[in-house]
A = this chain, B = another copy of it.
Amino acid sequence: MSATPESIVRIGQIGFGYWGPNLARNFRAIPACELSALCDASPDRLAMAGDLYRSATLYTSFDEMLASEIDGVAIATPARSHYPLVMQALKAGKHVFVEKPLAMTTVEAAEMVETAERLGRVLMVGHVFEYNPAVRYVKNLLDSGAIGDVYYLYSTRVNLGRIQSDINALWSIAPHDISIFLYLLGQTPESVSARGARYLSGDVEDVVFCSMQFPSGVVAHVHASWLDPSKVRCMTVVGSHKMVVYDDLATEGKVKIYDKGVTRFTNPQYGEYQYRLHTGDILIPKLTMQEPLRLECEDFVRAIQTGESPLTDGRNGLRVVQVLEAAQRSMERNSQEIAINLAAA
């Protein structure tokens, strides 16, 4: 059942709600891939999916789809269903792509990772921003040393809408920022502190402020909310030599590199520390436009074909769940800082 490089990878997708159609559209567009099965509990959505993807077999039962001739499963269902669906698919011998977050607990996520590794199956999580050319550009910039030491990062991801009832803004929105933080820094934070607030319902947090401490000394902060007058998706990286703003909604260029920095020196006259500000050019680099989701889907297909790990593999997903879980605990304990067991992932 394992695909060879020459063969076409057959994908079966479950979930055709808000995000599922985007996944399906991209899987279909990949030559090495065939979207051969679609599954949704809602007959209406399934019919709509069938209209668009006439060559795909339609299923209302996930069991039945798993029993069909597919190599990989793409899961775009509510977050709380990720664990059971992924486990079932892995045990059925399928490679699995699942939307973020990988799971709702570290224990579940670790079990998913362990199962995939034991069974030799690809487990991939949809941290789509790690495939975003702007994020990759910033990653290269950081790795090149051009911005000097990274001091701190902060991200704002707010909007009005996409209000969830079953998961809060932390689990719904912040996985993007956390996965970008970890990707850019190549580290997992050692501790997390968060404050959330519930307004619309008493059940889930509509807004979350979350900060995390990395082993290198870097601090990262994310503000996530679905209750805001403006749509903002903006991250700032402050370094010792340069500073970078990645604004996903900017029209003239998503990345802005500021040749700015501060140097501390000892004033020989007074013998005390002083600061010299450096302010130079601003550069908005030309980025090659590629749909991140397409790159992500291609990475899943490639991983199935080659056996190589995808960029956003299960361990990557587990690390993000570790941060989310710690942040959730911190919110429940009055912002108390929660340590992360770095050995676990």
Residues of A within 8 A of B (CB): 151-152, 154, 160-161, 163, 165, 191, 193, 195, 197, 199-201, 206-207, 209, 211, 213, 217, 219, 221, 223, 225, 227-230, 236, 238, 240, 243-245, 249, 251-253, 256, 258-260, 262, 264, 272-273, 275, 277, 279-286, 330, 334-337
Q: List 17 A-B contacts (CB under 8 A).
A: A151-B206, A154-B223, A160-B277, A160-B279, A161-B277, A193-B335, A195-B221, A197-B219, A200-B262, A207-B219, A221-B223, A225-B238, A230-B245, A259-B286, A279-B286, A281-B286, A336-B336
A244 and B244 alpha carbons, distance in the complex (Å) = 23
Q: Which of B213, B219, B264, B337 contacts A200 (CB 8 A)?
A: B264
A275 engages B200 (CB within 8 Å): yes
Q: Which of B161, B211, B230 contacts A209 (CB 8 A)?
A: B211
Q: Which residues of B contact A252 (CB under 8 A)?
A: 230, 282
Other A-B pairs beyond A160-B279, A230-B245, A335-B337, 8, CB < 8 Å:
A151-B199, A160-B277, A195-B219, A201-B273, A207-B219, A225-B238, A228-B243, A253-B282
Most buried by B among A227, A260, A335: A335
B236 engages A229 (CB within 8 Å): yes
Q: Which residues of B contact A336 (CB under 8 A)?
A: 334-337
